[in-house]
Amino acid sequence: LKPFWLKSGIPPSPPAAPHRCGLAMESVNNVMLRGICSLYNENHVAPVLRSMQEQLDALKEQLLEARAAFEAKADAADVPTAAPMQERLKSASADDSGVPTRAQLQNLEFALSKKAEASEVASVEQVHRLVAAAEQKASSREAALCAQVADLA
């Protein structure tokens, strides 16, 4: 790229010697420029940064809620396997000449209701993918907001 004065064919004039008036005007210009930048920052940049921080806080809160929900899920060690359930069925059917009583049926129903469905319990890999997706979404939102801030500047 060529400087603008080369395109017009007019060379730049040499810088003037600083005078008292020139220095005073320069300091006034600096003060005015700082004021303009400060107002622009307060009215345009600061609200975007606040919005970004609020969104980041909301995403962090959602992540904490997801982690808490994951920790509240039943562990595989706590869920009875098929073998103990079959033993209970055999012992229940062995009593009373093969006819289970109402209490035995209720006990079996209670034990089965406590058992978690494997398809309803999230695996560790699924939780890791969910956490990675949430972090990627947060970083992409942050990047988009940074781009907006850069466009405003």
Strand residues in 45-109 grouped as ranges (E): none
- 22-39 tens-digit pLDDT: 677 788 888 899 999 999
Query: Exposed, middle or buried: residue 107 (CB in 10 Å: 0-12, 13-18, 19+)?
Result: middle
Angle at 77 between CA 88 and CA 89, to 5 degrees: 10
Mean pLDDT of the 51-57 span: 95
Task: Tell me the whole-structure pTM to 2 decimals.
Answer: 0.32
| Digit-coded pLDDT (tens) for 70-113 | 888 767 667 777 777 788 777 766 555 556 678 878 888 888 77
d(CA 42, CA 12): 37
